[in-house]
Structure 1
Amino acid sequence: MSILKVIEILSSSEISWEDAARKGVAKASKSVKHIRSVYVHEQSATVSDGGITEFRVNLKLTFELE
């Protein structure tokens, strides 16, 4: 029987929401093992001088407990 846990993390990128999600998963995987899935819960962006300067994602990561 597997036991799964869900944690919420925030990540950002100057390139895109997809890049922010990839960076978040990559960083989390350094300390969280057995990540099974990621769910993009929210997306937002910061704006300066009429342009997007940072893409932000709120991610829910599901991983298996050992």
Structure 2
Amino acid sequence: MSVARVTEISATSKKSFDDAVETGVERAAKTLRNVVSAWVKEQSVSVKDGKIEHYQVNLMVTFILED
């Protein structure tokens, strides 16, 4: 039997939502061990002068706790 924890993180990208998700998951995996999944809780964009400045995602990252 395993026990998991879910934590929320935020990541941004100047390119796309997909890139923000990839950046967030890669960064989480550097700090958290046993990352097994992530889902996008929220998406938003920052707008400046009528143009998208950056894409932001809030991710719920699931990782398995060690014994």
TM-score by length of 2: 0.95
Aligned to 1:64: 64
Question: RMSD in angstroms over aligned alpha carbons?
Answer: 0.5
Show the 5 A alignment for 1:31-46: 31-46=31-46
Aligned to 2:12: 12
Following TM superposition, the consecutive aligned residue runs of length 4 or more in structure 1 with deviations greater than 2 angstroms are none
One-letter amino acid of the structure 2 residue matched with residue 49 of structure 1: D
Matched, 1:53 2:53: yes
Unmatched segments (≥5 aa) in structure 2? none
Overall identity of the aligned pairs, in %: 44
- Report how far residue 49 of structure 1 moved: 1.2
Aligned to 1:30: 30
**Structure with the larger helix share:** 2
Q: Deviations over 1:8-59 (max 9, x none)?
A: 0000000001100100111111110111110100000000111101000000
Determine helix, strand or coil for the equivalent of 1:30: helix
Unmatched segments (≥5 aa) in structure 1? none
One-letter amino acid of the structure 2 residue matched with residue 46 of structure 1: S
